[in-house]
């Protein structure tokens, strides 16, 4: 029920703001070529998608306003995740070169940790706009709690991301036209649905740290 509800509302959210979301998707795609601006553009897009999930109108000023507002959070989030990503990759390469059976088991464990961390950070990213005092530690802690308590909706979120990615691989132009914006909208709607279920909310309210 939660999953279907989030799917329907995500489609409606994206359709309502399709023009701005497609243009902002293009902005994000261009920014992704340079790596360094990527965390900032990601925060700007995710915060904008949060506004869409709250039924607020958006425009280009919304996105660029969030870039100015969230750059410190984006910098911390990006730096920590890049650092952890490098550590995981280095460890994976180390065990790959060993070629022993136990090293293979270590590789599987590292991949599992990387996947779990990525899922938690996806949920954490979507929680940032919903926190009264957003921060990396609080967002990650709350995200871990939601992932543990609501594994099926979270797995559905990941499955939708994989499906969108597969469709994009067949039609690469979609990456420029809306893939990332659609992911941002769906993630925000799914996490919003989970948060409301967890808090027992029915009206438009927000989570406080």
Taking only the tens place, the pLDDT of each residue in 177-196 is 999 999 999 999 999 989 88
Q: What band does 131 get if pLDDT is binned at 50, 70 and 90?
A: very high
CA distance linking residue 20 with residue 15, whole number of Å: 10
pLDDT (tens digit per residue) in 57-101: 999 999 999 999 999 999 999 999 999 999 999 988 887 778 677
pLDDT on residue 208: 43
Rounded to 10°, the helix 101-127/179-199 angle is 80
Nearest CA-CA partner of 86 in 108, 121, 114: 114
> 3 versus 204: which is more confidently predicted?
3
* Averaged pLDDT score across all residues of the chain: 90
Neighbours of 102 (CB within 10 A): 9
Task: Kindly state the tokens that stand for 157.
Answer: 């979120």
**Is residue 207 pLDDT above 60, yes or no?**
no
Q: What percent of the chain has pLDDT over 90?
A: 70
> What's this model's pTM, rounded to 2 decimal places?
0.90
Quick one: pLDDT band at residue 206, thresholds 50, 70, 90? very low
């Amino acid at each position: 029920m939660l999953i279907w509800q989030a799917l329907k509302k995500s489609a409606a959210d994206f359709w309502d703001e399709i023009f701005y979301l497609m243009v902002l998707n293009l902005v994000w795609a261009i920014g992704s070529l340079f790596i360094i601006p990527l965390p900032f553009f990601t925060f700007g897009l995710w915060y904008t998608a949060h506004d869409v999930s709250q039924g607020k109108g958006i425009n280009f000023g919304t996105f660029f306003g969030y870039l100015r507002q969230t750059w410190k959070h984006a910098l911390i989030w990006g730096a920590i995740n890049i650092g952890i990503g490098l550590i995981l990759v280095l460890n994976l390469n180390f065990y790959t070169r060993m070629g022993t059976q136990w090293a293979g088991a270590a590789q599987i464990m590292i991949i599992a940790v990387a996947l779990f961390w990525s899922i938690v950070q996806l949920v954490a990213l979507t929680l940032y706009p919903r926190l009264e005092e957003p921060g990396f530690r609080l967002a990650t802690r709350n995200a871990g709690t939601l992932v543990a308590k609501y594994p099926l909706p979270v797995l559905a979120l990941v499955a939708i991301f994989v499906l969108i990615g597969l469709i994009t691989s067949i039609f690469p132009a979609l990456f420029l036209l809306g893939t990332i914006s659609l992911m941002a909208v769906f993630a925000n709607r799914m996490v919003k649905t989970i948060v409301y279920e967890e808090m027992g909310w029915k009206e438009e309210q927000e989570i406080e740290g």
